Structure 1
Amino acid sequence: MRLVKTITAVAVATVLLGGCQATSSERAANDNQAAVVQQLPEVNIPYEMFTLDNGLRVIVHTDRKAPIVAVNVWYAVGSKDEQVGQTGFAHLFEHLMFNGTENYDDEYFGPFERAGATDMNGTTNNDRTNYFQNVPTPALDMALWMESDRMGHLLGAVTQEKLDEQRGVVQNEKRQGEAQPYGRVFGFLAEQTFPEGHPYSWSVIGSMEDLNAASLDDVHQWFNDYYGAANAVVVLAGDIDVETAREKMETYFGDIKAGKPLKKLNSWVAKSTGTKRATMEDNVPAARIYKVWNTAELGTEDSTYLELFNEILAGGKNSRLYQRLVYDEQIASMVSGFQYNRILAGQFFVIADAKPGVELERIEAIIDEEIAKLLQEGPSQEELNRVRYSSVASFVRGAERIGGFGGKSDILAAGEIYQGNPSAYRDEMATLSAATPADLQAAAERWLTDGAFVLNVVPQPKYTTAQTGADRSKLPEVGQLPELDLPELNTFTLSNGLEVALAERHDVPTVQMSLVFDSGYAADVGGKMGTASFTMSMLREGTAKRSALDLSRELEELGTNLSTSASLDSSRITMDSLITSLEPSLDIMTDLLMNPAFDATEIERKRSLWLEGIKKEKASPQQQALRILPSLMFADDHPYNAPLTGSGTETSINSLTRADLVAHAETWLRPDNARLVIVGAVTEAEIKPLLEQYLAEWQAPATAAPVKQFPEVARFNESRVFLIDQPGTPQSTIIAGQLAPSGKVDNAEAIDVMNTVIGGSFTSRLNMNLREDKGWSYGARSSWVQADAEGLLLALAPVQTDKTKESVLEILAELNGYIGDEPATAEELDKVKANKTAKLPGAYETKRALLSAIVDMLEKGKDMTWLEAYGQRVNSLELDEIQAVAADVIRPDALTWVIVGDLEQIEEDIRSLNLGTVTKLDTNGNPID
């Protein structure tokens, strides 16, 4: 059986070595005695080191006391070298290294057991993976052959069967560990004490999800990335000399590839501030407290000082906490602690188990009290001498052995891998020997005065279950759903001609309103793209009497949310105010409406940010496609021939002037081109006088209100393909677009339901095919863009690059089947009906949701009766109606395909589909060549 240690406290094993004398400093506050000399035992580990031409480092220590040789192979790879989503790889691969090689495809332990090997194991921690064994001297060639064979000749023997087998072993190891009392603690602590993405923020053993996802290709890549000769150290210790070692190492390891160059972090302490707390219930025998601080990394003087400080505080029966909690007050059954040293960061642990009936808060208070006392007074010289000598004694006893944990080969390998120096123990010995109580005190001050994480692990309460329960033989049916009952909509007109629609809702004392203008991106036609969006955004950037910061400050003081925006067909000023703040909020809203400053400095600041936003849109495959698609669907003189993001182009935004913004506002933001919709705890009698007061000066100009013109759109009779290159991307983004009916058509519910079945929900056909069945995409969907004029029907699927062609074929197959021999089914229709109607009672719970629905309703020329009858209209839809709408709307033979991906990998495949004319576009949508 192989034992794998996923957490090792390297502290004692690597820290110290005697061989010289240390002078202690005077500690007047405690015993006022003169400095004394502490005699430490002497240990020496002589070695010679050489490097093969392939970068493999070899360390040789000769010790002839027994005819055995320790072979210790360390790879500079651990769980810290994994990526989010691929955790557990280092440990999983360590298991695979014991399952045979290309030239010895059998259980690795066999030859060693027959040769009488001892201290044989392999382990993984955050920073390294090691494999070690002691073998009789005559078996050294066998051991080196085996170790070199798995370093250089492994992958041919790593099969899917072996991966699945060891994956199961590791997962059972994880289950076994987590089934132990407190077995889930260290994984949780890793997540909570380091920031997301930090290499120590996940456990060495990894997550079940990541282990399940590990593919054979992933595992092979891991070996190729990290198991090269240049990323390894081999220590030979015992009955061996450097000449013999060099000859044998050249023979067995000299032909192994160096491996790829690697990038590695050197330090990331992630020191915290404040105190963070958590409680975990578990099947544990006693309540336990863990108190943890992020501290200095391995190899620093502070890490050594903190080890000694921890020993004085919590290391054994003579420690201050053990004596106080276990002996004196007898409220704890166990106290321990350690400084957990690793390459990137250390952690200082204090752990205590409460006796029955004792609150963990009482134990924590004493922990804090004893730490505070040590911080204030410092440790005594006697305490420092005691823990220093004990630590050195442990080190000396370990160094008696040539192999195994804490043996000489282990010490030398750790020094080289962790600190680039086999003699690193000497530096730590020097720090340890010269350490004074003041050094320990100062280090603790630096690291333990802030940033603690406190975890209380408490026994899970004993729950009981009833003898009987619900009938599980069938799913209960949903009862009669309540009818939708919306407030009445009261409409009136202000003296300036502004139409107002008010729905009263007095549940909480707030008012929400949206001033909607018939403009939007479509108003930019004939002008500069992005003007509408830019103008609406600039309204929040200051007025004639309020700067942008003044606006933000006043709104924050009033507790009011005020936003400005533009969409395809409309622009809006939306406000959410408390009743008590309504009047001053209206003052601000009307100020930015009627007196926008359009300050030149603010315009340039906004322009700079806006252009950066366009760059980001172009960098996103989906947004890039949505920017370009409208220009492929609509003629130049059509209002919808503009990026669907509304942001315009670099050229148009760079050319915008203050005069353009003023002209847009004066042309489109006028009361006879607007409607104010209000939902809230206010009556007409209360709100109308306020509106008249604050909007009295907002008058329509003498000229007629503008009207957007929508020329007839020519429909395409054949498919076209447009390709946009994004080299190196691992995904292709596929959009298939076509013209569709306006959102104002009478059968809009039927079109919406039809779209939901094919691609408008998680369980739609497109998503179930490409995500759930094929696993080629994280999500595929279709969307109906419900515009005032012609709409768009879009199918969208980001897919893995090597399945681009196949995904296009699947999308086509789904669309053709939907209007052909696989039309919508009664089951699909019933499912969509149930979903859309069952959620209606809660759909308008908030004022914001009701406000949005009323705005949309009024733009379509409908009333509240129509809105309330939505569920009835959906439920009345018949299957043949859905099938007929699909056949009428969907045109798989006349799609406009926009595909963004690595054209070097996908272009030839796309062209081979013969979908239609293929055109390559640049990032601005211009044809290439």
Structure 2
Amino acid sequence: MRTALRSLIPATATLALLGCSTTDTMPVAETQAEYVEAEASVGTPQAASLDDLLASIDIPHETFTLDNGLQVIVHTDRKSPLVGVTTYYRVGSKHEPRGRTGFAHLFEHLMFGGSENVENFDIPLEAAGSTSTNGSTWYDRTNYVETVPTGALDLALMMESDRMGYLLGAVSQEKLDNQRMVVQNEKRQGDNSPYGLVNYVLNDALLPIGHPYRHSTIGSMADLSAASLVDVQNWFRDNYGPNNVVLALTGDIDAETARPMVERWFGDIPEGPDVEQLEAGPVTLAEPVYQEITDQVPSTRIYQAWTGPGMTHTDAVPLQVGMQILGGLNSSRLDNALVRGEESATSVYAYSQQHEQLSFLQAIVTVSDGVDHAEAQADLEAEIARMIAEGPTQDEINRAVTQFASGFIGGQQSVGGFGGKGMILAEGLMYTGDAGFYRTQLEQMATLTPETVRAAMESWLSRPETTLVVVPGERTLDGATLGGWGDEDQFPAPDPDTGSDVEVTRTGPERVLPEPEPVGALTFADVERATLSNGIEVVLARRDAVPQINLAMVFDAGSAVDPIGMAGVHETMIDAMTEGTTTRSTLDIAIAQETLGASINANAGVERSTVSLTALSANLQPSLDLMADIVRNPAFAEEDVARVRSQRVAAIQQQLASPAGMASRALMPLIYGDDHPYAYASSAGDADVVSGLTASDLAAEHAEWFRPDLATITAVGDVSMNELVSALEASFGDWQAPATSAPEKSVDAEIPAPATRLVVVDRPNSPSSFLSIGRITPFEGHSDGFEAVELANEVIGSGFLSRLNNDLRETRGWTYGIGSSIPSAEGPRRLQIGTQVQADRTADSIEVIIAQMSAFPSVRPVDDVEYQRVTDGNIRNLPNRFETNGQVLGALLSNQLLGRDLRYQASLPELWRSVTRQDIDAAAGEFLQPNDLIIVVVGDREVIDPQLERLGMEIEYLSVDEL
């Protein structure tokens, strides 16, 4: 994605069905009869009918096909003046030949580099108010997405058609070389993460050499280096014809209006060859495969995997539901048996990753410290065997389907983008010939029986599996050599591309970009206020686009309330809150949420602790009752606290194994000093502190900070204020504050004097270096005039079109992406820059960052294009920023944190229009210069030390033990 930059998105036409994570579970039941009895003992709230819930899911649409074969889907949704433009090409990594793995994804990158009539796709679209153009590649397809103001649809269609029909005259050797480096850095970044080599190893074991789904979408380094301009031209001509494309237009548009626009821009593009249809079905292994590797990981992890059926197979939906019951629900079987039962694991997960012609079925177990992984593997296999033998209950199936339906309803708020309605319709039509295939899946879910699911699980999971165990130790595999065809030992690696005399000339007519139409005034939700009888303030922004409500109960606490030297206390308390109440077990809580189609999460931020609820409108009252019980009556049972401690310590270990986590833990104390609570803001906690916490410690922490006089409630969604207040009074109205005075947190500790520092954390065998750079700013909370600083930051480092990203990624190809920000905070705010760069360009990248910051504005003041993008372009883009309930809720919570007017966003057009070029330049000159920067580098000292020495800065070193 463009915020995280272009990534490989593991989503499929089935919307990653039921793919939510799991932390809670059910009591141990050795037999199916005991399990049914355990379920029957749980008093669950009355929920809306599942049939009614499924029936409410509908994406009406029309389709038409141009003479050249382009298939078009139109869905009308007038809630916002936005149109999602989603383009799917029927070509992905499974179509790549030997020696060119990773090419489909590399070509996707090249598609953003301009066409014969468009120099840069992002600049005109973002100027018109679009989301950043984005795209992804996966086995079966390549897609491109943007969501534009209605008046910019003609512009978006012209640009999409120009690269579909008239690309080759704009693709030069220089562009190919640059994007090749970007993709290779994307690969290094993924490989550099803990467990980053797992998928290579698993797919190599699951599928034979030459199977289209075997090699990775990112490909091998050698194959990426070999890609040539001839390959680019052939790939385009062979695969990118309109007859291989589905175009979805979703939102403020109708078919009558859309058809002449599409015909105008796409109608003259000639048909190309049909993409070759491949044999690429699931494979049954002759015998089980077991592998064990060592890697720089914090915990032993077990992966067990099979290939499964394609998406139209009758077993596809039963398997997705069955795998969710096995290890995806909060009440999953694996959680119950391994995490809360035997406690042989700190986390578990199981899922079916669905693709067009096969699926990947996988169960993952993170083994508890001190437990033999063979024991955990035996527990895993025993639970799978029990599922196959006994099957699920009908109640489990209903809860899994309810959770899916609830997530689907929430997803319908987005007309475009990844996961939006355009993707749902486009993938259905491309893979199955039916844009409404999601209805087929829902209807199948509605009729599932325990035997249907059990039989599907038996059919596919009783076959030989591949098991991979990753054990902490030295990394022995090299990601650079992985991801390719798999027969490199028999065939030499392809020669690197050295460029050739390939003719690059215009292939189509000159076309002029349409001018976008003006946009209307921003419609930001009206905000209502009320107060409960116990004094809790209630804020509501009513929106009725979907029958769902997003609600946050926020307490004036957070990790900042931990005493210095006690990092992790408050977060551990928050973790333990959802593990059971005085009247409900974890099983009760999990089953109730799944039955209601609700999601309740507790999170400790730096300055706020939040319990959030996503609830179906029809189930608001019982969902609030459940949330209130979690907030008001956590049990902090000894056995639950012990388990939570173990999980929190595992999270700390994971952070200390991640380059980004290591960099963050190093940087924050250097900026704020050891005595400021913000120094530990990004830390998962201190393992020794967390290990020593008792149930009484957590109960005392909860009693001190979770009280109604420290709480506010903010909601967005399909409910009136009278209905909301009535429901809240029933759940929280009788909750009274204790007689003691409310505690106050403090974020006013002294901060060290600013000073330039260069600090290195050694991480051997790292193909990339993680740079985390920052310093304190003079800002606290929200300051008048801060908008100019934010816009200046957009110019230098925030967003895909920023100067830093354009230089380090698009021009030099040294990184997959870089970003800068001034994160929100009540107290002192910091400037922070983060990127992961190829290891041999570590010092060079630091020099470029400093040079770009220094040049703004003294050498390079804001130019006309940048100024228009961050002012008028931002104004045009505002409807995109507040399309969903979650986006509006996030804005309201941010306003509360920073002390702004609740409808601050409604004033942004006027504020941005008042910011001049001179204001932006002045802000950059005063607040965004590279003076007093603290530079943290996490990387391999053998590679980076010789580079850093030439910077002429004193180098300090931190060990992992000091983080």
Partner residue in 2 for 1:374: none
CA distance in 1, matches of 2:960, 2:669: 13
**Alpha carbons of structure 1 residues 814 and 84: separation in structure 2 relative to 1, 3 Å:** farther
The answer to whether structure 1 residue 812 and structure 2 residue 850 are counterparts is yes
**Alpha carbons of structure 1 residues 472 and 525: separation in structure 2 relative to 1, 3 Å:** farther
Identity %: 30
CA distance in 2, matches of 1:706, 1:206: 53
CA distance in 1, matches of 2:808, 2:618: 52
CA distance in 2, matches of 1:214, 1:678: 48
Cα offsets for 1:433-483 (capped at 9, x unmatched)? xxxxxxxxxxxxxxxxxxxxxxxxxxxxxxxxxxxxx99642222222121
Please show how residues 481-880 of structure 1 align to structure 2 within 5 Å: 481-526=519-564, 528-645=566-683, 647-711=684-748, 713-714=750-751, 716-740=753-777, 741-880=779-918
Query: Is contact 1:780-1:798 (8 Å) kept?
Result: yes
- The alignment partner of 1:641 has SS state of helix
Per the TM alignment, residue 831 of structure 1 is displaced from its structure 2 partner at its CA by 1.5
Per the TM alignment, residue 596 of structure 1 is displaced from its structure 2 partner at its CA by 0.3
Letter in 1 for 2:660: Q
- The alignment partner of 2:822 has SS state of strand
Query: Is contact 1:87-1:204 (8 Å) kept?
Result: no
Per the TM alignment, residue 516 of structure 1 is displaced from its structure 2 partner at its CA by 0.8
CA distance in 1, matches of 2:831, 2:701: 30
Letter in 2 for 1:200: G
CA distance in 2, matches of 1:207, 1:572: 38
**Alpha carbons of structure 1 residues 483 and 198: separation in structure 2 relative to 1, 3 Å:** farther
CA distance in 2, matches of 1:860, 1:904: 44
Partner residue in 2 for 1:905: 943
Please show how residues 251-290 of structure 1 align to structure 2 within 5 Å: 272-274=307-309, 277=312
The answer to whether structure 1 residue 201 and structure 2 residue 240 are counterparts is no
The answer to whether structure 1 residue 480 and structure 2 residue 518 are counterparts is yes
CA distance in 1, matches of 2:589, 2:926: 51
- The alignment partner of 2:677 has SS state of coil
- The alignment partner of 1:606 has SS state of helix
Please show how residues 290-301 of structure 1 align to structure 2 within 5 Å: none
Letter in 1 for 2:734: E
The answer to whether structure 1 residue 923 and structure 2 residue 933 are counterparts is no
Query: Is contact 1:771-1:778 (8 Å) kept?
Result: yes
Per the TM alignment, residue 699 of structure 1 is displaced from its structure 2 partner at its CA by 1.5
Per the TM alignment, residue 710 of structure 1 is displaced from its structure 2 partner at its CA by 2.6
- The alignment partner of 2:736 has SS state of coil
Please show how residues 221-260 of structure 1 align to structure 2 within 5 Å: none
Per the TM alignment, residue 277 of structure 1 is displaced from its structure 2 partner at its CA by 4.8
Per the TM alignment, residue 743 of structure 1 is displaced from its structure 2 partner at its CA by 4.1
Query: Is contact 2:309-2:357 (8 Å) kept?
Result: no
Partner residue in 2 for 1:455: none
Cα offsets for 1:380-419 (capped at 9, x unmatched)? xxxxxxxxxxxxxxxxxxxxxxxxxxxxxxxxxxxxx99x
- The alignment partner of 1:785 has SS state of coil
- The alignment partner of 2:712 has SS state of strand
Per the TM alignment, residue 85 of structure 1 is displaced from its structure 2 partner at its CA by 13
- The alignment partner of 1:482 has SS state of coil
**Alpha carbons of structure 1 residues 908 and 844: separation in structure 2 relative to 1, 3 Å:** same
Cα offsets for 1:163-215 (capped at 9, x unmatched)? x9xx99xxxxxxxxxxxxxxxxxxxxxxxx99988643349999998799644
Letter in 1 for 2:617: I
**Alpha carbons of structure 1 residues 85 and 771: separation in structure 2 relative to 1, 3 Å:** farther
Per the TM alignment, residue 494 of structure 1 is displaced from its structure 2 partner at its CA by 1.5
Taking structure 1 as the reference length, what is the TM-score of the superposition?
A: 0.51
Query: Is contact 2:538-2:714 (8 Å) kept?
Result: yes
RMSD: 3.9
**Number of residue equivalences:** 518
Larger Rg: 1
CA distance in 2, matches of 1:291, 1:637: 56
- The alignment partner of 2:936 has SS state of strand
**Alpha carbons of structure 1 residues 293 and 826: separation in structure 2 relative to 1, 3 Å:** closer
Letter in 1 for 2:211: S
CA distance in 2, matches of 1:887, 1:670: 45
Per the TM alignment, residue 534 of structure 1 is displaced from its structure 2 partner at its CA by 1.7
Letter in 2 for 1:569: E
Cα offsets for 1:693-731 (capped at 9, x unmatched)? 221332112222222223354454431011100111111
Query: Is contact 2:804-2:852 (8 Å) kept?
Result: yes
**Alpha carbons of structure 1 residues 921 and 822: separation in structure 2 relative to 1, 3 Å:** same
Query: Is contact 1:679-1:847 (8 Å) kept?
Result: yes
CA distance in 2, matches of 1:266, 1:87: 26
Per the TM alignment, residue 738 of structure 1 is displaced from its structure 2 partner at its CA by 0.8
Query: Is contact 2:208-2:214 (8 Å) kept?
Result: no
**Alpha carbons of structure 1 residues 539 and 912: separation in structure 2 relative to 1, 3 Å:** same
Letter in 2 for 1:667: E
**Alpha carbons of structure 1 residues 643 and 717: separation in structure 2 relative to 1, 3 Å:** closer
- The alignment partner of 2:837 has SS state of strand
**Alpha carbons of structure 1 residues 533 and 905: separation in structure 2 relative to 1, 3 Å:** same
CA distance in 2, matches of 1:805, 1:491: 53
Taking structure 2 as the reference length, what is the TM-score of the superposition?
A: 0.50
Letter in 2 for 1:729: S
Letter in 2 for 1:475: L
Partner residue in 2 for 1:396: none
- The alignment partner of 1:704 has SS state of coil
Cα offsets for 1:77-100 (capped at 9, x unmatched)? xxxxxx9999734999xxxxxxxx
Query: Is contact 1:735-1:794 (8 Å) kept?
Result: yes
Cα offsets for 1:574-625 (capped at 9, x unmatched)? 1111222112111111111110011111111111122111111111111111
Per the TM alignment, residue 866 of structure 1 is displaced from its structure 2 partner at its CA by 2.6
- The alignment partner of 1:573 has SS state of strand
Partner residue in 2 for 1:139: none
The answer to whether structure 1 residue 88 and structure 2 residue 98 are counterparts is yes
Letter in 2 for 1:721: L
CA distance in 2, matches of 1:602, 1:205: 42
Query: Is contact 1:89-1:211 (8 Å) kept?
Result: no
CA distance in 2, matches of 1:902, 1:694: 54
Partner residue in 2 for 1:101: none
Query: Is contact 2:820-2:833 (8 Å) kept?
Result: yes
Letter in 2 for 1:88: R
**Alpha carbons of structure 1 residues 657 and 268: separation in structure 2 relative to 1, 3 Å:** closer
